[in-house]
Amino acid sequence: MDKKVVLITGCSSGIGLSLAVRLASDPDKRFKVYATMRNLAKKERLLECVKGLHKDTLDILQMDVTDRQSILYARDRVVEKRVDILVCNAGVGLMGPLEVQSLDSMRRILEVNLLGTIQTIQAFLSDMKAQGQGRILVTGSTGGLHGLPFNEMYCASKFAIEGACESLAVLLQHFNIHVSLIECGPVNTDFLVNLQKVELEDATLQQVDAQTISFYEKYLQHCSSVFQNAAQDTEDIVKVFLDAIQSPSPAFRYFTTSVVPPLTKLKMTEPDGSQYISAMSKIIFSAEDQ
Ligand SMILES: NC(=O)c1ccc[n+]([C@@H]2O[C@H](COP(=O)([O-])OP(=O)(O)OC[C@H]3O[C@@H](n4cnc5c(N)ncnc54)[C@H](OP(=O)(O)O)[C@@H]3O)[C@@H](O)[C@H]2O)c1
């Protein structure tokens, strides 16, 4: 049987790297993986993980999702001339009080997380339609389902992806193309290191009022404790990707924990939003500030 051709964005680290390694190491060699990354100088980490054993199941290509030419160039290097499973995973974060975020930083996160994902899908869509089959998997975030203070632009980018993917899914089912979002909570990756974050000692914070800074301090403590105590490993996320890939009729949305996180549920079941806002605020900023 022909191998399924998989192309993954953002494979220099984290979820993308783990997924590429797992699929390229499939014991039954069911996948040919094109692991893409914007900076090929970072490919050693991936190569170390696969230990040179996967010459027939793995290729590494340069792809910057913000650069249409680089997407098209990578697409044209796919030897099989088709992609069965496209994984849009590349993403960046931006954290801090909204008042200090520069227009450039805000543009950048939208360019990577939103437009980068969409223009990657665009580049492969016509061929997938012509093939009459395909899978598009997108690394989503619970931050795309409910808001998180000090992550306005990150959440905006991930919310927008939800809308774009849901809209596409309605149409693409008629082409036998399944769109799925893998909704992750905190995951142990380089994400927090790579994240563009306003530090408490940054001079830019001088323009921000003391109350907001105090809330930001609490948020940073909350965030680090959540990542220390509740972050999943990339292997857990990869299992969920595999479930979606192997399902004959994949769901639109997969959660990476067995139960939908209570706050996510609250957002979905209480549509007027006030209960979610109050619960999230209580959790992060503590009861005495309500
Ligand atoms: N970790 C979490 O807690 C978490 C939670 C929910 C959702 N997610 C989502 O999971 C996805 C993967 O993140 P991760 O946790 O694995 O973090 P990560 O280790 O920082 O990986 C992010 C990947 O995206 C790549 N990337 C960034 N900008 C790019 C661009 N313009 N073109 C191509 N690749 C680009 C990075 O490449 P460079 O090495 O070149 O920067 C890196 O390979 C993201 O979409 C993120 O939003 C993560």
* H helix or E strand, kind and range, residue 54: none
Tell me the angle at which helices 234-246 and 14-24 cross, rounded to the nearest 10 degrees: 50
* C-alpha to C-alpha distance for 78 and 142, rounded to whole angstroms: 32
* Ligand 1 in reach of 71 Cβ (< 6 A): no
Percent of the chain scored above 90 by pLDDT? 92
Atom of ligand 1 nearest to the CA of 113: 45
Check if the beta carbon of residue 216 is closer than 8 Å to that of residue 150. yes
In a domain? residue 266: no
199 φ/ψ angles, rounded to the nearest 5 degrees? -90, 155
Q: Residues annotated as binding site for NADP(+)?
A: 10-38, 64, 158
Q: Tell whether the model's pLDDT for residue 288 goes beyond 60.
A: no
In a domain? residue 175: yes
Nearest protein CA to atom 43 of ligand 1, as residue: 10
* Ligand 1 in reach of 233 Cβ (< 6 A): no
In a domain? residue 283: no
* Ligand 1 in reach of 165 Cβ (< 6 A): no
Nearest protein CA to atom 33 of ligand 1, as residue: 64
* C-alpha to C-alpha distance for 9 and 235, rounded to whole angstroms: 17
In a domain? residue 275: no
In a domain? residue 16: yes
Q: Which of 15, 57, 7 is nearest to 234 (CA)?
A: 15
- pTM of model > 0.85: yes
Distance of CA 151 to the CA centre of its chain: 15
Nearest protein CA to atom 44 of ligand 1, as residue: 91
pLDDT of residue 290: 41
Q: How far is the CA of 174 from the centre of ligand 1 (A)?
A: 30
| CATH of residue 27 | 3.40.50.720
Q: What is the mean pLDDT of the chain?
A: 95
In a domain? residue 23: yes
pLDDT tier for residue 259 given thresholds of 50, 70 and 90: confident
Strand partners, 35: 8, 60
The SS3 of residue 30 is coil
In a domain? residue 135: yes
What is the average pLDDT across 31-52? 95
* Ligand 1 in reach of 89 Cβ (< 6 A): yes
Q: Any catalytic annotation for residue 154?
A: yes
The total of structural domains in the chain comes to 1
Q: How far is the CA of 15 from the centre of ligand 1 (A)?
A: 8
pLDDT tier for residue 229 given thresholds of 50, 70 and 90: very high
Range of the domain at 9: 4-198+232-258
**Which one from 154, 216, 219, 276 is the annotated catalytic residue?**
154
pLDDT of residue 3: 95
* Ligand 1 in reach of 15 Cβ (< 6 A): yes
In a domain? residue 204: no
Q: What is the pLDDT of residues 140-157, one digit of tens each?
A: 999 999 999 999 999 999
Q: Is the dihedral of CA 150, 154, 157, 158 positive or negative?
A: negative
* C-alpha to C-alpha distance for 164 and 157, rounded to whole angstroms: 11
Check if the beta carbon of residue 276 is closer than 8 Å to that of residue 290. no
* Ligand 1 in reach of 10 Cβ (< 6 A): yes
Q: Residues annotated as binding site?
A: 10-38, 64, 141, 158
Check if the beta carbon of residue 60 is closer than 8 Å to that of residue 81. no
Q: Residues annotated as binding site for substrate?
A: 141
DSSP letter string, 104-142 = HHHHHHIIIIIIIHHHHHHHHHHHHHHHT-EEEEEEEEG
pLDDT of residue 237: 98
